[in-house]
Amino acid sequence: MKYSTLPHTDIEVSKICLGTMTWGKQNTEEEGHEQMDYALDQGVNFFDTAELYPVPAEAERYGHTEKIIGSWFKKNGNRDKVVLASKIAGNGDYTKFIRSTGFSRASIIEAVEGSLQRLQTDYIDLYQLHWPERNTNYFGKRGYEHEITDYWEDNFHQVLETLRDLIREGKIRHVGISNETPWGTMRYLEESKVHATLPRTITIQNPYNLLNRLFEVGLAEVSMREKIGLLAYSPLGFGALSGKYLGGRMPEGSRVSLFPRFDRYNGEIATKATQKYYELAQANDLSLAQMALAFVNTRPFVTSNIIGATSIKQLAENIASIDVSLSEDVLKGIESVHNSIPNPAP
């Protein structure tokens, strides 16, 4: 395994992060425990979860993924071997069963306390805001459209004050954001620069893969200049970049077959790009999945690559991508495809 350091800390994390979004819906508790055992044995010490998980979110399964992680900690007593990240859910039609008060002080405290209880731990190493409260372009929306009905009021300062207090109490150690824009990212950073007592945002968790490199438009420069690390999620585009949907296939039990609304990486243009990437991988004796993951692993702004799997076989292949080196010819081939079909899946 290879490691990096969470920016502005001395915390060393594996370049591969174990994503947990399927545990409690597509995976059982036993399977979740098996994945954590395997990942830790392979040197993966960074786990990412959220109060919202598993996804798709539903009231009956709320927090179930965190409970699976918590029961694993209790069984093995190895909390100290893991750098743990979790998130508070933002507002949305599909999160009203959690709460409808956004990132108010009471909401953040309630969310953190609930996660700590489910995770059976006294602290969370990295606590993240899952997505912005304001209306903006996240979750598959390519461009920003200003909405005059957006009643959000600027509360960056208040949010950071609450997180600061939770850090002082020892319940969380560091702060991150997710599904953010350059404007939102800079606002959080500027608040902590102007007000020295407020915690600095150290990571941003956004989608990044061969079919969606929009992070490079604006946020990559912010990441490099401000030293805020990308935790790249969906590096395989909901499985599309494994190639399993090519040729019109729809494997039984696959994510898109189970949840058709998660099809943003399977449109006509995205599929055309995936086919080209598949042919490039085949021509260079690589699997498409490992080529796609290896590309993400080597980007200079990526602190860790969040991989997920529903089987140990998938997990093993994904983790092994850390040892895959891409030749200059492969990298040039990737850029050629990207330049001809840029970002087909927002």
Task: Point out the residues that are catalytic.
Answer: 53
Structure token digits, residue 55: 């996804």
Tell me the Cα Rg of the chain. 19
Instruction: Report the 10 Å Cβ neighbour count for 38.
Output: 16
Q: What are phi and psi of 339, to 5 degrees?
A: -70, -30
The answer to whether the CB of 34 falls within 8 A of the CB of 43 is no
**Integer angstrom CA distances of residue 182 from 154, 189, 222, 266:** 16, 11, 7, 27
**Whole-angstrom distance, CA of residue 201 vs CA of residue 174:** 8
Residue closest to 220 by CA, chosen among 252, 174, 172, 185: 185
Q: Are strands 12-14 and 16-19 parallel, antiparallel or unpaired?
A: unpaired
What residues does 86 pair with on adjacent strands? 127
